[in-house]
Amino acid sequence: MARGWRETMKMAAEGKRALEEQHRAGGAQQAMQDHVAAAGATRSAQTYRAAMQRNAGIGGGLHDIDLPERILLPDETVHDVAVGGQSDDTFPLLIITDRRVLVTKDLPWNRWKILREVPAADVAGAELETRLLSGRIRVRLHRGKDITFKVAERTRSGEVTALLQHLASGGAPPQAQ
């Protein structure tokens, strides 16, 4: 026998209440971890998700579930990610991996297009330039034009800049998680 409209709405309301209760009890974090584990078993997907967790609350609702599979190599290790200031209804990303530094942006007609990419060995250093309301990460290169990346959040941007500078000066990469 088919369920009636009232029964369906009552079941939906009960499900919503159960999800809200689970969320309050910390189940949302576990649900996210379960989803991440199922979504990407590659090294690049795992390390990208770990790096993005450090950016919690920055960048609004990024639709990046398929980013690792689209632009990263399966065995690439993501050291850190900086979320840029909003541009054209999305937030560009500066991604630092063990092999390269890249800037990517989610475009409506071309999901996660790589706008700029340089090998990690070409990075000479980095600095955070502060502006009145925002900032800019400047990635200095041994040859070629520097990468500039506009940012709105200065604390996380400072951490990413410090990592870039550390790696460029020959420092050891952070421990993989």
Task: Report pLDDT for 34.
Answer: 57
Of 159, 157, 21, which is closest to residue 149 (Cα–Cα)? 157
**Under 8 Å between Cβ of 159 and 80:** yes
**Under 8 Å between Cβ of 92 and 148:** no
Q: pTM here? A: 0.74
For residue 110, the tally of other CB atoms under 10 A from its CB is: 10
- Per-residue pLDDT tens digits for 2-53: 556 677 777 777 777 777 777 676 655 665 555 555 555 788 899 988 888 8
Domains and their CATH numbers in the chain = 40-168 (2.30.29.30)
Tokens of 5: 């409209």
Which of 24-28, 124-128, 171-175 is least confident? 24-28
- What DSSP line would sit under 112-165, residue for residue? EEEEEEEEGGGEEEEEEEE-SS-EEEEEEESSSPPEEEEES-HHHHHHHHHHHH
For residue 97, the tally of other CB atoms under 10 A from its CB is: 21
